[in-house]
Amino acid sequence: MLKQAQARDDMDVEVVDLRDHPLPFFHEVASNAWAPSRDPEAVRWQKTVGQYDGYIFVVAEYNRSITGALKNALDQAYTEWNRKPFTAIAYGSTGGSHALEHIRGIGVELQMVSTHAAVHIGGSDFFAVFPMGGNKPIEEIEANLLPSAKIALDELVWWAKATMAAKAAEL
């Protein structure tokens, strides 16, 4: 999906890896909608995510939900996510469908807009690339993912344009 997004002329894509942001567990008195964050890593994270007009989340499913690291990263910012769209590429034995359902609910609380389409890596595709399964390169299943990735990216661009126009009209 990254290569497909980078090949488009209607979006610029940058990878933001949580491993590059050693966020503490959320321990502020309130979200930054109500009180400025005190932790310097949280502030750095807020500045990082705040500069984008939309997001593509890579969502691993564990125990029918998103990972703790992703939930913590989402919780560390609030205003920076507001009124921005996101899509996702989710993976797990059920294609990450449960985790995707959870992140969409979290997105609503963060005042985000989720695309209808997403990329799901599940079933035989998941087990083909899973390290304890086939351990094949992702390129082996890429053709199966491209149609849904295109739809998800098209929707992300539409929502990004719509939310940017709406925010500009407020000024």
Report how far apart, in Å, the C-alpha atoms of 104 and of each of 28, 31, 66, 158 are. Answer: 23, 19, 11, 18
**1 band by pLDDT with thresholds 50, 70 and 90:** confident
Q: How many residues does the chain have?
A: 171
Residue closest to 85 by CA, chosen among 164, 4, 8, 18: 164
Q: Give residue 93's pLDDT.
A: 87
3-class secondary structure, 79: coil
DSSP assignment of 118-156 equals: -EEE-HHHHHHHSTTTT---GGGTHHHHHHHHHHHHHHH
pLDDT at 128 over 80: yes
Q: Do residues 111 and 83 make contact, with C-beta atoms less than 8 angstroms apart?
A: yes
Q: What is the pLDDT of residue 142?
A: 93
Superfamily of domain 2-170: Flavodoxin domain (3.40.50.360)
Q: pTM value?
A: 0.93
Q: Tokens 């989340």 belong to which residue?
A: 57
Above 80 in pLDDT, residue 171? Answer: no
Per-residue pLDDT reduced to its tens digit, 55-114: 999 999 999 999 999 999 999 999 999 999 999 999 998 999 999 999 999 999 999 999
Model confidence pLDDT, tens digit, residues 15-33:
999 999 999 999 999 999 9
